A and B are shown apart, each in its own frame.
Chain A
Amino acid sequence: MDIATLAGIIAGISFIVAGIMMSGDLGNFYDAPSIMITLGGTLAATLISYPIKNIIGIFRVTKNLFFTKAKDPNGIIRQIIELANIARKEGLLALEEAAYKLEDPFMQKGILLIVDGTDPELVRNIMETELTFMEERHSQGQAVFETMASLAPAFGMIGTLIGLINMLKKLDDPSSVGPNMAVALVTTFYGSILANLFFTPMANKLKHRSAQEMLYKEIMLEGILSIQAGENPRIIEEKLKAFLSPQEREALHHNSTAGEE
């Protein structure tokens, strides 16, 4: 569960609503045709931009924004060290059993490859290809959100144009100009909110998630190759720690000493 996404959305909406209420009336900002033009238009244009498969994929991706639990890089490193210890004591073939207990399919695949005696060069190749395509897949989800972010303000603008045109057609009553103008501008407001509070931040979070996952998988890949080369578990630990920030390294140290006690 990612609290930050939910907290951000709730906080964003409440701050805006509070801001509106302090200086005006919330009712002014509700206009059904405007919602139709901005939200409907954005969704329709997204449908035109992407194949249907990507659009459906977006729902799963959106779910991930809220419910993915962040993986702990220290946990991954500890797991690798554990596997390295098994390999040092009982040989690579003993890893097969341990591999089936692993949760991460990427790591499992890597371990099974080295158990099969695959050439290290080839293992790196296979795993790196998988990484490249994982990043590619991730960037597709991001791209949909980014497109929506760029389309929403444009549809806000279009909505405003529609409102202005309707207003200018019936300009004979000067007293109606003000309210009509206000309604016209509401679409621009919707477009900006959609782009800046939802779509752009969501794309950013996906990007961050993807980068983090890449880092974890790179740690795994490096670890797996080190295990295959028969490196000392302590050396592997030092090597993998290089991927982490100082704070995270500190946490790893604390946990490993706690585990020994």
Chain B
Amino acid sequence: MIKVTRLNGEEFYINPDLIQYIEKTPNTVITLTNDKKVVVKEEVEEVIERIVAFKRQIFCSFQRNDGLAGE
């Protein structure tokens, strides 16, 4: 899950796998696959970075576990 901030400063986490597209309108509007729209404070690039970081985190821990199982 990645952390995003609503316009009123409230922070919450969003499942990046459900993101359909992100628009800059110039506010960042994230549309989820269920057609829900979320307006967030972060820039588009920032959101993408966080997604990448999150995926990397998952992938790394997966590799570690995999390594342990192989031993």
Contacts and interface: CB of A to CB of B under 8 A. Distances in A.
Range for the number of chain B residues in contact with chain A:
10 to 19
Nearest to A227: B25
Contact of A88 (B9, B25, B38): B25
Nearest to A84: B25
Interface string B1-32: 00000111110000000000001011101000
A244 interface: no
A117 B8 contact: yes
A92 B36 contact: no
Contacts of A201: none
B39 interface: yes
A231 B29 CA distance: 10
Contacts of A7: none
Interface SS of chain B? loop
Interface in A81-114: 87-93, 114
Contacts of B9: 117
A94 B37 CA distance: 20
Contacts of A90: 26
Contacts of B26: 88-91, 230
- What size tier do the contact residues of chain A reach? 10 to 19
A220 to B, nearest CB: 18
Interface of A: 87-93, 114-121, 228-231
Interface of B: 6-10, 23, 25-27, 29, 36-39, 41
Question: Nearest 7 CB-CB pairs, A to B?
Answer: A230-B25, A117-B7, A117-B6, A117-B8, A116-B8, A230-B29, A92-B27
Given A87-B27, A229-B25, 12 more contacts: A88-B26, A91-B26, A91-B27, A92-B39, A93-B27, A116-B7, A117-B9, A120-B36, A230-B25, A230-B27, A230-B29, A231-B25
